[in-house]
Structure 1
Amino acid sequence: MDPDTVRGDGGDIYWRRRMSVLVAVLVVVAVVAWACSSGGSGPERESRAQSSPSVSATPAVDPLLSGLRTLAMGTASPSPTPTASPKPSPSARPKRPGEPCADEDLVLHLQGGGKEPIYAGGARPSFLVTLVNTGPVMCTADVGPRAMEVRITSGSDRIWSTADCVSGEGTDVKQLQRGVPYVRSLEWDRRRSSSDCRATPPSALPGTYVAMVRMGKLRSPKGVFHLR
């Protein structure tokens, strides 16, 4: 055998083996690369993507934390500015027995002979005046004819008044116990009265009349009656 021929065949075999090893390595590298690239895609990856929560999903907002965050940022509605509380008014001094009666403690009433009574002929209208103290203690009030005036009118015409032609001082201060009425009765002679105190005042004409009691700012209910 020719030595050159053996040497040449051996060289070919050597290079063929080297090429086979190189090709095998490349194939393995390609397979690994393909496995890595395709392993993340497919049903299994999709299932993991579906089961795992998304990072970009917006988390639920806690209302309490949101309110605290709003307060911290200063966007909450401002609280009302406290104002100085008014100073308590001093308590009213207790009333003492015997002091003048206050209007709000008095009840004034006028009662006639009935509901719109009719006085025929020479019958004289009569009235009953009552004054009651509803205050906490006994008080005093002037019930004289000027201070507690009974007035009779017809329309706008002032017919008669107890304040006309009063002799003397015309005052009559009474002590009014709580709940005990002061009662005064009077009768009208059916004549007009005036401040000039005429000796023979004219008689009132037949018609409809209204009686009322006046005492300072107090007014009694009206009493309507008729003269025939």
Structure 2
Amino acid sequence: MRGDGGDIYWRRRMSLLVAVLVVVAVVAWACSSGSGPERSSSAQTSPSASVSATPSVDPLLAGLRTLAMGTASPTPSTPTPKATPTQRPRRPGEPCPEQDLVLSLQGGKEQIYPGDSRPSFMVTLVNTGTVMCTADVGPRAMEIRITSGADRIWSTADCVSGEGTEVRQLQRGVPYVRSLEWDRRRSSSDCRATPSVALPGTYVATVRMGRMRSTKGVFHLR
């Protein structure tokens, strides 16, 4: 029984000691928290103190802020210039590019053909490239056409016998020349029809080759 009474005694003493320590801790915490606003108010009433005070910055936050600023506005990089592909040199005998050809028509300009006289024309095709090339100068590929207003009167592409192709080699600067004489008769895709004679009036002759067009040759039939 005495032993039990001694234990109870010491337990009460320990409980009292813990309670005292808790009270001291609460009082200390209250004093420290009370001094915070007081210091804050004194800083607000003193302009010089607020200006000169330098807030402490967490190094970790400062590093994160710097990293975020760098991500938001990256330094523009200089674009790498693209390499220009080198053009393969043309080999002699390859088809002529249209940009290397000059197509022209001579004759018929403002000329008057009375009676049974026949208009005559001369077509030239010149290679301005660096090497010899080939071109189809057949009646379909290099078409000579005569019109009167919107009316298609005559064309070398009408009623062509055979394949109608004629591939020629064009040396640089050496013109290919073709001359023709129009018999003043109309032509059509229906080769079985008997062609009629063109009436007196104003006519226009042009040469067509792919996307190329020659200058117009205007002439008159009387």
Structure 2 length normalisation: TM-score? 0.65
Matched pairs, number: 150
Alpha-carbon separation, structure 1, partners of 2:132 and 2:88: 15
Cross-structure match for 2:82: 87
Structure 1 stretches of at least 4 aligned residues deviating more than 2 Å after TM superposition: 80-83
Please give the per-residue CA displacement for 1:117-136, whole angstroms capped at 9, x wherever unaligned. 00000000000000000000
Determine if the alignment matches structure 1 residue 154 to structure 2 residue 154.
no
Q: Which amino acid aligns with 2:175?
A: P
From 186, 195, 199, the equivalent of 2:189 is: 195
The answer for the alignment partner of 2:39 in structure 1 is none
Q: Identify the residue that residue 199 of structure 2 maps to in structure 1.
A: 205
Tell me the alpha carbon deviations over residues 185-215 of structure 1, each in whole angstroms, 9 at most, x when there is no partner.
0010000000011352000000000000000
Stretches of structure 1 that go unaligned for 5 or more consecutive residues are 1-77
- State the identity %: 79
Partner of 2:94: 99
CA drift at 1:81? 2.5
Q: What is the CA-CA distance between 1:224 and the residue it aligns to?
A: 0.3
Larger Rg: 1
Cα displacement string for residues 40-84 of structure 1 (whole angstroms, at most 9, x for unaligned residues):
xxxxxxxxxxxxxxxxxxxxxxxxxxxxxxxxxxxxxx9x82332
Structure 2 distance, partners of 1:82, 1:122, is 77
Gaps of 5+ in 2: 1-72
In the other structure, the counterpart of 1:112 is 107
Distance 2:213 2:78 in 1: 43
**Secondary structure, aligned partner of 2:99:** helix
Scaled by the length of structure 1, the TM-score of the pair is 0.63
Q: CA deviation at 1:152?
A: 0.3
Corresponding residue for residue 27 of structure 1: none
Measure the CA separation in 2 of the matches of 1:86 and 1:216.
36
Instruction: Please list the CA deviations of residues 61-114 of structure 1 after superposition, one character each: whole Å capped at 9, or x if unmatched.
Output: xxxxxxxxxxxxxxxxx9x8233223112110000000000000000000114x
Pairing partner for 1:167 from 161, 164, 168: 161
